[in-house]
Amino acid sequence: MSFCIAQACIGCWACFEVCPNQAIIEVTHGRFMIVAALCRECQDDFPQAQCSAICPVEEAILDDRGMPVHPVGSLTGVPPAIRAAAQGISSLCIPEFL
């Protein structure tokens, strides 16, 4: 059993710093993975896996079933339907004209 770092990861290094088993490694610049053989999901050490406890990004950490530990809306409070609608907007910036 081990957690997984998904594409949603922003490369903030927070999980890397708190992992008590050094199970998180950087595979490329700002891209991380969890070494399954080293990950114990912090069982017997903490009430919650430390990588997921500190992660500031929804859907960045997946559990051993492939489900996001922080699903859409769980950290931001933005309902999934609103987020899905907003993802269709490429930019909210108005270009400046000289």
Can you give the pTM of this predicted structure? Answer: 0.75
86's tokens: 């907003």
Domain locations in the chain as residue ranges: 4-86
Residues 6 or more apart whose CB falls under 8 angstroms from that of 41 comprise 1, 2, 3, 49, 64
Band (54; pLDDT cuts 50, 70, 90): very high
Per-residue pLDDT band for 35 (boundaries 50, 70, 90) equals: very high
How high is the mean pLDDT of the chain? 85
CB 90 within 8 A of CB 35: no
Using CA atoms of 29, 35, 38, 43 in order, give the dihedral in degrees to the nearest 10: 100
Q: CB-based contacts of 32: which residues, under 8 Å, 6+ apart?
A: 5, 9, 11, 15, 16, 24, 25, 26
- What percentage of residues in the chain have a pLDDT greater than 90? 59
Whether the predicted pLDDT of 88 surpasses 80:
no
The helix/strand/coil state of 68 is strand
15 neighbors 54 (Cβ within 8 angstroms): yes
Which comes out higher in pLDDT, residue 91 or 88? 88
CATH of domain 4-86: 3.30.70.20
What is the rounded distance in angstroms from the CA atom of residue 68 to the CA atom of residue 98?
Answer: 45
